[in-house]
Each structure stands twice: as structure tokens, then as C-alpha cells.
């Protein structure tokens, strides 16, 4: 059975993370892990607390672990993950000025094979869960994500471009880093 490699897609909101994960999974005929926070916030509303971010983080990891086990059991060798604990850390620090130590511990212990960092070169698209439409906030968040990736050892690539360009950049990055 092949070893399952995990590729995490991160970046500010409205940078095409979910679309890129879904498209990459379709291209490689594999599974992708959606962002659990979206499901949680749709069910519980946008008035979330600091403590709820840990609940969301635990839900994200449980979903990732379940889908990774299923993918591995069916012989898939790639799993695309929309959001990891770096996203939870940045989100928590940006909104509340602090991060739960449990989330930080997960960053230290969980391993991934590659990261794709989505640039803010897509137009912001409004939906009921998005909080930061201004480019200044989006760029600030992008740099927080970039700083997180620079300071760790897993290979990563910035992904930009419109439409199919973004997917092709993702395919090229995955091919270069993992295949």
C-alpha cells in the first residue's frame, strides 16, 4: 500500500483554497479534506469565541484523520487538506491576539509533506462567513501565513493566477515537491 502524502492548502479567506483543493483532488483522482470551520460556523453562527476555535481545530483534525484513513485504506497516495493548524493559529491570533496551547502543540507534532500558500490575487468574493474584504487585512494575513511557512521545514510554494492558471500552478508545485 502506498504511503499517503498530505498537501495542505492555506491562505487568507477568498483566495481559492477550497476550489484549488477540490480541483487538485479531481486531477489526481484522490480525496480532499474540506474546511471544518465552514460547516461549524454555518451551524453555530459567526459570533464565535476564543474557546470555540479549539473546538473547530479539533473538528478539523478529526475530519482530516477520518478522510486520511479512508484514502489510505483505498490505496490513494495523495490527500489535499483545506486548512490546518497554522490557519487556526493565524485566525486565533488575528482575531483574539492569542492562540490556545493545544493548537500550538498540534502544529509541533503533526506532519505534512507540502504546503501550497494561496496568494491574494483573486478578487474577494462575499459570502456569509467571510470577515475581511479589504485588501490590507488580506495582505496582512497572507504575510502571517508566509512567515509561518518560512519558519518550518516542510516544502512550500506560493500559488497564484486566475482560473486554470492557479490549478496548473498547483499541479506543477505538487509535481515538483512530491512526485
Mean pLDDT, rounded, for 49-59: 98
Confidence label for 2 from pLDDT (cuts 50, 70 and 90): low
Confidence label for 96 from pLDDT (cuts 50, 70 and 90): very high
pLDDT for 112-150, tens place per residue?
999 999 999 998 887 777 777 788 989 999 999 999 999
- Residue 127: what pLDDT? 77
Class of the CATH-defined domain 5-178 = alpha beta
User: Phi then psi for 123, rounded to 5 degrees?
Assistant: -65, 145
Mean pLDDT, rounded, for 60-78: 97
- Residue 124: what pLDDT? 83
To which residue does cell 512530491 refer? Answer: 178
The residue ranking higher by pLDDT, 163 or 6, is 6
- Taken in order 105, 146, 141, 4, is the CA torsion positive or negative? negative
Amino acid at each position: 500500500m502506498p504511503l499517503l502524502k498530505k498537501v495542505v492548502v492555506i491562505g487568507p479567506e477568498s483566495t481559492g483554497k477550497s476550489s484549488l483543493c477540490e480541483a487538485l483532488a479531481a486531477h489526481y483522482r484522490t480525496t480532499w479534506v474540506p474546511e471544518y470551520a465552514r460547516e461549524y460556523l454555518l451551524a453555530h453562527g459567526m459570533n464565535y469565541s476564543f474557546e470555540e476555535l479549539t473546538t473547530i481545530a479539533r473538528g478539523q483534525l478529526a475530519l482530516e484523520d477520518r478522510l486520511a484513513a479512508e484514502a489510505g485504506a483505498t490505496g490513494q497516495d495523495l490527500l489535499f487538506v483545506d486548512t490546518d493548524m497554522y490557519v487556526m493559529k493565524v485566525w486565533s491570533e488575528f482575531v483574539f491576539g492569542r492562540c490556545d496551547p493545544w493548537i500550538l502543540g498540534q502544529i509541533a507534532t503533526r506532519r505534512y509533506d507540502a504546503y501550497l500558500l494561496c496568494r491574494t490575487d483573486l478578487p474577494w468574493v462575499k459570502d456569509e462567513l467571510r470577515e475581511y474584504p479589504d485588501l490590507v487585512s488580506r495582505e496582512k494575513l497572507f504575510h502571517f501565513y508566509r512567515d509561518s511557512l518560512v519558519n518550518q521545514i516542510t516544502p512550500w510554494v506560493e500559488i497564484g493566477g486566475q482560473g486554470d492558471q492557479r490549478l496548473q500552478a498547483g499541479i506543477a508545485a505538487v509535481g515538483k515537491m512530491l512526485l
